[in-house]
Every structure is written in C-alpha cells, then in structure tokens.
Amino acid sequence: MKPTLIILAAGMGSRYGGLKQLDEVGPNGEAIIDYSLFDAIRAGFGKVIFVIRRDFEVAFKERFDAKLKGLITVEYAYQALDKLPAGFKLSPEREKPWGTAHALWMADGLANEPMAVINADDFYGRKAYAAMADFLNSSTDDSEYSMIGYNVENTLSEHGTVSRGVCATDTDGYLTTVVERTKIKGEPDGIFFYEEEDRTPLDPKSPVSMNFWGLKPNIFGYLTSGFSQFLADHGKELKSEYYIPLLINDNIVNGNIRTKVIECDSPWFGVTYIEDKPITIGKIAQLIREGVYPQRLW
C-alpha cells in the first residue's frame, strides 16, 4: 500500500497578500506545490489529497487534474468553518479558519493508509520526501508517527515573524514536546519568540516542525476527540486555532503516540511574505542548475 500525501492548501495567505499556494516560482510557471508533487511522486506516494476551500476548486482542478493523471491519484477535501464535530455549532461572528489540525480533519474518510501532511507553500526538498516515504513504508506500529525536523535558524524570513512548532526530543530522537510559537523572529542579537510583551530567546539549532508529519490512519480518531475538547475550551474565542503541533503534543503527553524526529539535510524555504518570492525563485533556479530538477517538471 503506497502512502498518501495530504497538502494543506486552504489558507488565504493574509501575510502574503494573495493565493500563494499557486504563485509561480519556477521557470515554466511552476508553484512550490508542483515541486512538492514531483518529489512525492518519485518518492513513491500513491495518492494526493488537496485540502482546499470550495472557492479554490476550479483553480486547483484546472491546474492539477490533467497533468497528474496516471502519475498519482488525486482527491479533494474541502475546509469550511461550519464543519465541526457533532454537538457544536459555528458562532455567526466567527470568520477566522480553525487552524491546521482542523484542515487535516477534513481528510477523514479519504486517507485510510499511512500518510504525510505538508503545507502547500513550503519547499521541503527531495531528500525529505524520500526519508518520509521510507518511514511510512517501514513503520508497522500504529502508535509511531514521525516529523521532518529543521533547525529554526534555517526557517526564518528576513521580512517578518514566522510560526513554527518548537520541539524537544529525548535521547532516542523522539519528540517529548512540541509547542507552536506564532511569532518567531531573527534579530541582530539572536532568535526570539514573542508572547504578548515577553521576548524569549531560542537556540538557533532548536529543532522545529515545518508541518511535515508522518501519520497513521488512527490520527482521525485523535483529531475528532481533540478538536471537540478544543472547541469546548476555546470555541467561543473568535481567533482561536487548533494546530497540528498541539494535537501531536497532547497525544504524546497522553501516551497515545510517539513521534520520531527525522533529521534531514534537505533545504527548506518558503514564501511567508511576498518579499520572500524573489529568494525562492532564485533557490529553485539554482536547484535546476544543479540537476536536482528538470527545467520543465511536467
């Protein structure tokens, strides 16, 4: 059974200023998501599930369905604010999406095999997909998950703060905690995360999650119960979000899962801000010159 790739692509890119999931960074109009698909296909993934908003459907299907036919099975899941667990209703004042864990929950019923989850607008690198596929194909323990880890110093933007899951690991390389920090910034005197008025330093080598997770199908049971508890505790807060790192951390603490941090020297880069785009275009061009990718992907 080939593993599945779930691509979280429903965000509006408020800091970016547009639909960055499909923004062109390659020489023939390729988006970062094209390179992710190319890497996943050659690593042996058998299906991709795009988690999108319903109003993105035409743009995604026109872009991907024809060129991916025969290469990988394509399915779609649609994220909506009112898709909630039984017993919960959407507040009419709620406008903000519920977060990455809610987006992943949209794939319940579509992913019944070991799966990887990624962000649509992050470039993770060929080696990362190969390492994740190896894990998903070899791990037979349903309680064993994984995560591709990157050093925080290699994941920053020069143009503003970033959100990262900051990780701690045990001597065997398994996560002990992962905490979502939504405002991390590199400054002249170091790397810091901010919480209201507090400024806390981070070791540049601290491993962080870039939302590249290796999961088993039982994740959806944990998601349903975890999101239900989140809504009970925070559902009336109009800007509260349920993140995948929070889901993973809770289930590590509860003893339900263990999560292997896969260290990988693949390059990471992304387009958090529109000012990051020229840097990304340059890095893609360099990888093409080095022969990592063909001049034309499809």
Least Cα distance to 98 among 80, 86, 111, 76 occurs for 80
Q: What was the pLDDT predicted at 162?
A: 87
Rounded to whole angstroms, the Cα distance separating 298 from 27 reads: 12
Q: What was the pLDDT predicted at 15?
A: 52
Q: What was the pLDDT predicted at 158?
A: 85
Helix, strand, coil % in the chain, rounded to nearest 5: 30, 30, 40
Rounded to whole angstroms, the Cα distance separating 188 from 43 reads: 39
Chain mean position to CA 183: 17
Tens of pLDDT, residue by residue over 174-204, are 999 888 898 999 999 999 999 988 999 999 9
Tell me 178's DSSP state: E
pTM over 0.85: yes
Positions of the chain with pLDDT under 50: none
Q: What was the pLDDT predicted at 13?
A: 54
Q: Which two tokens stand for residue 149?
A: 């880890």
Which CATH architecture describes the domain 4-289?
Alpha-Beta Complex (3.90)
Q: What was the pLDDT predicted at 146?
A: 98
Q: What was the pLDDT predicted at 18?
A: 57
Tens of pLDDT, residue by residue over 272-283, are 788 889 999 999
Q: What was the pLDDT predicted at 43?
A: 98
